[in-house]
Amino acid sequence: MLPPGYYLDESDPDIITLRREDGTFVAAFSAQGATRESIFEAAMQDSRNLADPDTGTAHESEDS
């Protein structure tokens, strides 16, 4: 079960796409190798990043 506000787009038979309720892309997984745990963790990480963007893993590049 995914956290509220997320769904799986399985329109491509080879790829499972995790999306937010508004359709925003979150992550893509191989349909053959995806695990429930990895999909759930991606949703939870995205949810944490939305709640507190400063703790996310993406970093802006610094200008020299």
Which sequence spans correspond to the domains of the chain? Answer: 6-51
Per the listing, tokens 């506000």 go with: 5
Measured between alpha carbons, how far is 50 from 37 in angstroms, rounded to an integer?
A: 20
Three-state SS annotation for 15-60: EEEEEECCCCEEEEEECCCCCHHHHHHHHHHHHHHHHCHHHCCCCC
pLDDT digits (tens, 9 = 90+) for 22-59: 999 999 999 999 999 999 999 999 999 988 767 655 44
pLDDT band at 63 (very low <50, low <70, confident <90, very high): very low
Question: What is the pTM assigned to this prediction?
Answer: 0.79
15-20 and 6-12: which strand pairing? antiparallel
